[in-house]
Amino acid sequence: MMNRSIHPAQVEAASCYCGVDTGFTVTGARKLVAGARHCTQPEIKPCTVVPKSRLKSELVPKSRPKSERNRTPSQLLPGLPDDLAIACLIRVPRCHHRKLRTVCKRWYRLLTGNFFYSLRKTLGMAEEWIYVIKRDKDGHISWHAFDPKYQLWQPLPPVPVEYSEALGFGCAVLSGCHLYFFGGKDPTKGSIRRVMYYSARTNKWHRAPDMLRRRHFFGSCVINNFLYVAGGECEGGQRSLRCAEVFDPNRSRWFYISEMTTAMVPFIGVVYEGKWFLKGLGSHRQVLSEVYVPSTNHWSPIMDGMANGWRNPTACLKGQLYSLDCRDGCKLRVYDRASDSWRVSVESRLHLGNSRALEAAAILPLGGKLCIIRNNMSISLVDVENASYPQTQLWDPIAGKGHFKTVVTNLLSSIAGRSRLKDHIVHCQVLQA
């Protein structure tokens, strides 16, 4: 009788690139590459009960060609160990990743997993792209991605049909690579609680848990990778809302937080010194300002110099709070905490115009500078840190027409913006991958 020990069946990990975010060294990449004997995914059980019929068949030696028995899994790059292959692939510019995913299944699994992009982030190779969400003159939502390094617009999958015509929805970034759409008003269904998010790593949209309350035209922000939502409107008897909630992506759940002191429809908000500042209209259309402190879960009204001189859009960069001082974004102001007032920080000395097309729709931190995006899709970077050096080139146009080119071009853009209500930007965010 054959004396042979029977071992539990092992799970082949030929399709496994585990979502592990710790220990990212290139030398340790081998165990996360397809072809390893044991899978490290917790939901896959390597020791399972195997049917007796299968055990019996496994005891009988199978006659296979020698070349097939000695065959090993294919390498990511022929002639190189997988750890060195990954070291090469992570250096490929992000604009080519969409093509790399189509090379083979192993490359697709590698470039849609957490390990690959977490390694790029750890080694300082992650690239930031600007994502612009627009509404056209017919009310349809579209979005576009701009690569500031190569100054090219990149293709994207379509916006989810639930948000193709939505009004007053929120937009925020969690974990640096997930773009969330949440809430809003559907033209037929009214206020919604739906939440969707786009992953810059997989280039796909995914569903997330719904909010606790239906709302639209509300305020939102991200603090310590928690998504906060407050105020807004909802159809029904209580039109303006006081309630607020927070989303924890680690537990994938929404939780109520303390209510605002008064109902508000926010039109501007910013995170400054770990606090969330909101400014909006009250139930009687009066202008209100409130601040929320996450550590104490407390709202309080504010009436200081910051709120009085605060204008939209606003962004915080390296502890400094910046706001636009003119409609076309050619002049910036900075908040001086010592004097509790706003002062002019930097200006381009070239006014573009007051048309809707040239209006500055958003201001975002990007690569240590401030990025200004206008409705005509023109983008410029402002080096605010060197504003005290007059010889320095502070304004750097990186995309779009009608931006610092000629007087004629700017004039034509102004005329086009006045002639009719054209496309306008509703949200702008920066994603890293």
The reply to whether 166 and 122 lie within a common domain is: no
pLDDT in tens, 53-80: 543 444 444 555 555 444 556 789 999 9
Place of tokens 């569903």: 207
> Is 222 a domain residue?
yes
> Is 228 a domain residue?
yes
Note whether 201 and 112 are within 8 A (CB): yes
> Is 255 a domain residue?
yes
For the cut 80, the answer to whether the pLDDT of residue 132 exceeds it is yes
Give pLDDT, residue 86: 96
- Secondary structure (3-state) at 119: helix
The reply to whether 175 and 282 lie within a common domain is: yes
Note whether 76 and 85 are within 8 A (CB): yes
Span 285-297, average pLDDT: 95
Look up residue 299 and give its DSSP letter: E
The reply to whether 200 and 113 lie within a common domain is: no
Which domain range does residue 251 map to? 157-303
pLDDT in tens, 43-56: 333 333 444 454 34
Place of tokens 């033209």: 187
> Is 331 a domain residue?
no
The reply to whether 170 and 292 lie within a common domain is: yes
Return d(Cα 248, Cα 54) in angstroms, integer: 45
β partners of residue 240 = 233
Look up residue 7 and give its DSSP letter: P
Return d(Cα 317, Cα 346) in angstroms, integer: 14
Note whether 328 and 359 are within 8 A (CB): yes
Burial 38-75 (b: 16+ CB within 10 A, else e): ebeeeeeeeeeeeeeeeeeeeeeeeeeeeeeeeeeeee
Give pLDDT, residue 355: 84
pLDDT in tens, 146-196: 999 999 999 999 999 999 999 999 999 999 999 999 999 999 999 999 999
pLDDT band at 31 (very low <50, low <70, confident <90, very high): very low
Question: Which CATH number fits the domain that encloses residue 237?
Answer: 2.120.10.80
Give pLDDT, residue 65: 57
Range picked from 22-26, 173-177, 405-409 for highest mean pLDDT: 173-177
The reply to whether 185 and 116 lie within a common domain is: no
For the cut 60, the answer to whether the pLDDT of residue 15 exceeds it is no
For the cut 70, the answer to whether the pLDDT of residue 340 exceeds it is yes
Altogether, the residues listed in the chain come to a count of 433
Give pLDDT, residue 55: 38
What is the rounded radius of gyration, in angstroms, for the C-alpha atoms of the chain? 26
Burial of 312 (0-12, 13-18, 19+ CB in 10 A): middle
Q: What percent of the chain is modeled with pLDDT above 90?
A: 62
Give pLDDT, residue 244: 98
Domain end point (choices 303, 337, 354): 303
Domain end point (choices 303, 331, 354): 303
The reply to whether 94 and 202 lie within a common domain is: no
The reply to whether 118 and 161 lie within a common domain is: no
Return d(Cα 324, Cα 170) in angstroms, integer: 22
pLDDT band at 391 (very low <50, low <70, confident <90, very high): low
Give this prediction's pTM.
0.80
The reply to whether 175 and 116 lie within a common domain is: no
The reply to whether 85 and 162 lie within a common domain is: no
For the cut 60, the answer to whether the pLDDT of residue 199 exceeds it is yes
Domain end point (choices 303, 323, 339): 303
Span 198-219, average pLDDT: 96
Number of domains in the chain: 2
The reply to whether 13 and 52 lie within a common domain is: yes
The reply to whether 189 and 90 lie within a common domain is: no
> Is 95 a domain residue?
yes
The reply to whether 199 and 80 lie within a common domain is: no
> Is 188 a domain residue?
yes
> Is 376 a domain residue?
no
Give pLDDT, residue 49: 42
> Is 91 a domain residue?
yes
Give pLDDT, residue 34: 43
